[in-house]
Amino acid sequence: QEQLEESGGGLAQPGGSLRLSCAASPRIYVMGWHRQAPGKQRELIASITSIGSTNYEDSVKGRFTISRDYAKNTVYLQMNSLKPEDTAVYYCKGIGSGRDYWGQGTQVTVSS
């Protein structure tokens, strides 16, 4: 199966932390994380290249960190200093066989 398996979403308080995981099947290269808030466009928030270079959307820069475990073919998103505006469905995205793959989405809710 060609799939992405996400975990780690849930409820956090403002200022809290969550770590999202995206475990991919071997033939999928995970490129990064996107999120989509209700009624809004899905946006790329963090990306990572095959050599480990990273980039972040301005709203999460300095708070979120994307990383890759090559042995597990898993990409993580460490989210610190969470804000209510981080509330969204978070998706990991990969590529393989000339097409895009998306995870199922995991809900992150930041609320007191």
Residue 110 vs residues 23, 87, 102, 105: alpha-carbon distances, Å: 23, 5, 23, 16
Distance CA 49, CA 78 (A): 17
Q: Is the pLDDT of residue 1 over 80?
A: no
Q: Residues 40-99: pLDDT tens digits?
A: 999 999 999 988 899 999 999 999 999 999 999 999 999 999 999 999 999 999 999 899
